[in-house]
Structure 1
């Protein structure tokens, strides 16, 4: 396929196919994209035509409507992923029904979604165009093979394992993901970054992952029987393009016994984060909901930053952690911003603090990870192999502030190694 790799590099302009049953909407989207430098090489009015266009024209990305005659958007995603895998960006309306279908499309292989532009030309159209073009450019750079690896089957057992207190997960190769990194090796990555590694590698990712496949896995049952979590820990998870399924995997693999407070910052439009939180709640041992300003967050709870608002933490007179939402200006062009949430936890959290940075384009979260590392906290970045886009994690790794670089299935276990103590 013609889509670029997860490194974020591409040659020439992005080539897109626009799919919508409305001629007016196809024309509007085409005009917005072409004004933004995207080359629209084809259109389709239903899913069947979309599959034909993708197979014939080999675009870098497809913008996909949901409700269409003949073959709807979900069926089209299935067919494209089966016949000619290509990054698909869903166009979704601000309705609960569309939100549910959109997340189902992500489950089936779509890489991201964007709010469908309205039919009226208003003062907000430049912002709509910018968001659409940026999302299309980002989606076009997704490495679909990495996305498939990151979303390896886990949902059927993850929640039950988490509720039972299990930490490890079985990878397709049969090894325990938790055993793929020893506690000692995970905590020494920043030290390795400061000194040239003996194998000549110069990156944290290579220093961390080079020998992972050669390590003997630790039996999950033996390790978990000796694991305890004496303090209330705080985990901040940040992600962008390609992130929802990986975030779901990470949160679903956190055992309630870990006694964590979890903050999730996923770049997502306003109106969708509430449904995203509900999905996480259904699939994890933690009580997950969209964050509300002024509420306290306790151990065993997780909160998702609402779309369109920054999520900050504060502490009250008794030292309890409280949440605050703001609508201050965007950071790195996004709101919520991972950087702001991580920075605020450094200032207010009393106890173990871990930052996790997952797949995404740009550099949001890099400064936050650096701050957590400098404060004595722990940092985990998703690896290149399983990142749909290796932009944010790569930039964090390059700063030397990352303790461990982990595949999607190893992220939660790597964080838990930090919070846990052996009896």
Structure 2
């Protein structure tokens, strides 16, 4: 059901409970409304969180809050000794965490389907004669699917709804859906307050499939509240319930970024002869690493603002598949043909059809490359190596 989650962290517990004679911790929910005419029915849960093992302390209740009756809870929620027991994990570093969940109301009616009962007693009589426990509506459409609403005016006793009204929806006519279909349904049920012209909202979220086509709430609203005429839900023997459904089918389509594979291939070596006579853009032959096709692009005179300053070097993905995305960890080396002290830079980039090329516009200064004493350019030949260390290719699935 729609709710606000409120996390409350008390400061010092010794300040929060000053009376040393107190044996239990008290916990209550208070309305902050200042309107003297307000009335809100709330189904709420109060919880003291265990910060160690997840075994929280929680209690649920419902109440009709008003200006004169604005708080409700438990004067003895739990033993104070238990709260202070460090092994339980409720009090950690003198901090207690309290959580509350509370229902909401709204003025707007349900968008998808409304069931009006002009005689609640007549409905009960019909169901009793037929030996039935629920009323089912005609099929209606919502979010592109067909549904049916089920109303249990005296509670769904088989699913522990005795003493409450129960509401469910089921998806119908699923024969046209693909085999193995799954639908995530976010369903909001409504009960109309005829006096105040507002709706209580209760939410259920469930993944529906061929085996489970139904979702709903057995203990939707306590019958004593529902039948009390001053609350407006059952008024002059009339009542109104409704539903909104927002559903998305699970198509099974997605993608996976796998663990990067480490490759042990020899580095690809590109030897460029007659370097001084080369054009400003050179391409290596295409080579294969990790089942993907690559090539190197070299700009001896630089590019992207490094013209005349630095040699520019790039690794390019040759594949043209639009959906291809590859994370690659790579290392460039400009081989020192005399001392063996190679110059290297590493990169980690995402290669795709839209961004197939990655590398360094400022790989190494042209002066250093052409300086014969550095050992990179020997007999007008330059040797470049690239090692693709890891590859993780995004995989589509359906």
**Common topology (TM > 0.5):** no
Higher helix share: 1
- TM-score, normalisation: structure 1: 0.23
Higher strand share: 2
